[in-house]
Chain A
Amino acid sequence: MNLRKIFTLYTVGFLGVTILLGLAEHFFDLPNRWIGWIFMGLSLGIYIVIGILTRTSDADQYYVAGRGVPAIYNGMATGSDWMSAASFISMAGTLSVQGFSGLAYVMGWTGGYLLLAVFLGPYLRQFGAYTIPDFLGARYGGNAARLVGVFSAILCSFTYLIAQVTGVGLIVSRFIGLDFNVGVFVGLIGVLFCSVLGGMRSVTWTQVAQYIILITSYLVPVVVLSWQLFSNPVPQLAYGKVLQLNNQSALAITRDPQEKATREIWKAEAAAADAKIKDPATSAEEKVKLTAASKTATTQAKAPAASDDATIGNYLTVPKGKGMWNFLALTFCLMVGTAGLPHILARYYTTPSVREARTSVGWSLFFIFLLYFTAPAYAAFARFSVFTKLVGSKVADLPSWVTLWKPAGLFDVVDKAGDGIVQLADFVIKSSDFVVLATPEIAGLPFVVTGLIMAGGLAAALSTADGLLLTIANGISHDLYYKVINPQATLVRRLTITKVFLIVTALIAAYVATFRLAIIVELVAWAFSLAGASFFPALVMGIWWKRTNKAGALAGMVTGLAVTLFYMIGSRFYGMSWFGTATVASGVFGLPLGFIVIWIVSLLTPAPDKATQDLVVSVRYPKSGSASAAINAGH
C-alpha cells in the first residue's frame, strides 16, 4: 500500500471511531471516563505500533529518516513537531484574554517560516549534515562552534521539553482522573517507544499520524458551533459576525445594573484586601494570599467594554506607543526564533532533495496555518458561549460539568451577589486554557468532542516532545560523543548512547515536570529569543556570506546568547528595562548584535580557507558541488 492510501484509511478510521463513540454516548450513556480512556488508549496504541513497525538501526534512517520523506508528509510532521501543547491548548485562550496583542503569537509563529524557507531550509538540505551543531562544526571547522551549538540546542530544547511533559500530565489527569505524576509517565511511554526504536524515521511517521489527530480535533468543535449558529461550516469566515455579537454582549453586560452591582462588590473586596496588605500587623504569609485575592477581585471588577457607550470593545483595540513596540518586538523574536529552533530545522534534512525541502516548508506552513487561522475563531466562539450559555443562567441549574471542572482549576463560578443568577463577573477565569479545553462543554456539545480535544492535545504535546528529545539525544551522542570525544566509536555504540540519553533525558524532564514550576511557561516563550539570538545569525551568515569565519561565528553566537540572557534575567528579576521592552521579547537586542559581531569580528580576522569558501558557494546550487557528499563521507 502506498503512503497516501495508508494515511487516508487511518484518517477515515479515526473519524469512524469518533462517530461510533458519539453514538454510544448518545444511545447507551457511555460514561465520560470511558470515552477518555478509549481516546487515550487508542491514540497511544497507534503511536506505539508505528514505532515498532518503523524501527531501524541504520545511521541514515535513525538520524535523518533515510532522507526519504516526501515534502507533504514532512510538512505534516513539521506541523505537529512545531505545534506544541502551548499552540494547541493555550493559544486560543491567550487570544481571548489578550485580544489584539495576543496576535503577535499567531503572526510570529507563522511568519518565521518564510525566513526559514528563503534563508535556511533548502541550503541546509543541500549541505546535508545530520544535526544543526553538525552544520556549525563543518562550516566553522573544529569543535568550538559545534559545542556552542550543542549547548544552545540543549538550552532551548530542554525547557521546551519540560513544558510538553507538563502538558501531557495535565491532559491525562484532567480527562482520565489519573494522578498528574502517573499521567506524566504514561505519556512518556508513547514518546519513548518511537524515538528509541526508530529515531527520526519512527518519529517522522508518528508525527504525521499525530498531526492528523490534532488538526481534526481542533477543527471539529468550531466547525460544529459555526454550523449550529450560522449554518456555515467555515468558522474562519463566520466569526466576524461572532465578534460583532460579542461586542454587543460586552456592551450590554457593561451597562447591566445587576452586573454593575456584582462588580461593585468585587471592587469593595479588592479595596478591603489592599487596606489589609498595608496594615503592618498582617503577616507576610497573609500578605501573599491577600495580594492574590486583590488581583482576582480587581480583574472581576473590570467591565468587559471600556465604557458604556464605546462602539468597539477593548478586545480589538490596537496597542499604542510602548504596547506597539512590544507587539512588534515580540512578533520579530518569535519569527526569528521559529527559524532558529534546532528540532524544526533538522526536519528539513529528511527530504529527498533540495526541491522537496523548498516545497516542504510551504506544506509545513500550510498545515500550521490550518490551526492558527482557526485559533482566533475558536477564541471568539468561546467568548460567545460564555456570554450566551453561561451568563444569565440560574446558579441552581448549572450543568454538572461546572462542578466536574472545578478540581482542574481552570475556572470557578461564584454567586457573588447572591442573586442566584450567573453574572459575567461571577465567572472567575483562573487559566485561559479553559477556552480550548472547556468550550465544547460550555457550548453544550457531547462529551465525545471533549474526548477528541484531549486526544488532540495529547498528540500535540507528544509529537513536540518526540522531536525535542531526539534533538537533545542526538546532540549529545552524535555531536558531543562521536564528533568530539570518540571519533572511532562504532555505529552500534553511537546508537546505544543515543537510546540511553533519550531515556535519561525523558526521565529527567518528567522528574522536573512533577515539581509544577510556574516559571516553565515563561521559559518556553524565552526559548524563542534564545534560539533566535544564538543560532539564526550564525546559520544565516554561514550560508550567505563566505567570508564568515570561525572567530566571527563564535563571537556572534556567544554575544547573542549572553546579551539575550542578560536582558532576560535583568528585566525579569531585577527591574531592568531598555525602551520598556518585555522579557519575552529579549531577543530583539541580542539578535541584531549577533549579526553585527559576526560581521565585524570576521572582517578583523583572516578569511576562512578556500575549501570552506568553495563549499559555501557550492551550497547555492543544488547538486552542483560535492558539499553533501563531502560531509556525508565523514559518517
Chain B
Amino acid sequence: MASSSTSVTTVAVRRTLAGHGPDWRGIVFGLLLLGSLVATLGILVTLLADQLVRGIPVYQERGLDFLTSRLSSNPATAGIGQGIVGSIIMGILVAILCFPLGILTAVYLEEYAPDNRVTRFINVNIRNLAGVPSIVYGLLGLTVFVAFFAFLGFPNNGRNIIAGALTLTALILPIVIITSAEALRAVPRSLREGGYGVGASRWQVTRKLVLPAARSGILTGTILALARALGETAPLLLAGAILGTFSSPGGLESILTGPYTVLPMTVYDWSRKPQEEFRELTSAAIIALLLITVSFNALAVLLRNRYQKQ
C-alpha cells in the first residue's frame, strides 16, 4: 500500500518536473540572436581579412619604407608618411582645441547652469548637432575657417591643417560635450552633498570631487570622439586637405600653414587611382589607419580601467 502510493506520487512529481517538453520558440529566438551576431561579425571579419590579404604583402615588400615615404604617382615609391604625420598633428590639434572646450562646456551645463528652458533648449540642440552629417561640417570649415585664414592672407588660400582641425573640432565637440555631461551626471548626488556638507564651494566640489569621479567616463568618451575625427574624410575634402601629391613642408610654421593631408584622405585618393598597384597600397594604408584607430580605443579602455580602480 505504502509503496504503491509513494510511486504514484513519484510519478506525478516526475511529470511536473519534466515540464512541457522543449521550448521551441525559445530555441528559435536563441538561434536568431546567434545568427545576428554571426552576420555582424561575418561582415567585419570579411572586410578585415580582405584588406589584410591585399595589404600585408605591401608591408612585407616595402616594410618601414612604405610608412615613411612621401605621396607619389609612382606606386613603387608611394608611401603614407605625409598622411601619418598629418593625422598625428591633426589629432594633437583637435585634442588641444576640443577637449578643454567640450569638457568645460559640459561642466557648465551640468554643474553650473540653472535648470531652465534655455539650458534645456541648448542641451537638445547639442544632441541635434551630434547628428548633423559630417559633410555639413566640411562646408562650415570651408566657408568659415578656410575663408577666415584666406582673409588673413595665409598661404595656400587658407587651406591649412589648423582650419582642418577647427572643422573636426566642430564635428566632434557635440559628442565630447554629450559624453562628458553623461559622465558628470553619473556621479552620485551623495558625493556632491558630502562635499558641500563639509563647507566646500561649488568650484571645490566640482574640481576635487566631481571631476575626478567622472574622469574615466570623460576620458573614454573624448578619446573615442577623437578616434572618430581621425577617421573622417568628408569634411576635410571640403575644408582643404590635399588630394594627390605635394612636397612635404619644412618647419613648424609651414606644417601649420602649408598644404597637408591625413591618412583617410590618402586612402580615398589612392582608391580612385587607375593603376592596379594602388589597390594594394590602399589596403595597406587602411591597415595603418585601423591600427591608429584601434590603438586610440585601446588607450581609452586602458585609461578607464586605470581610473576606475581608484
Say whether A associates with B: no
Which residues does B use to contact A, with CB under 8 Å? none
Which residues does A use to contact B, with CB under 8 Å? none
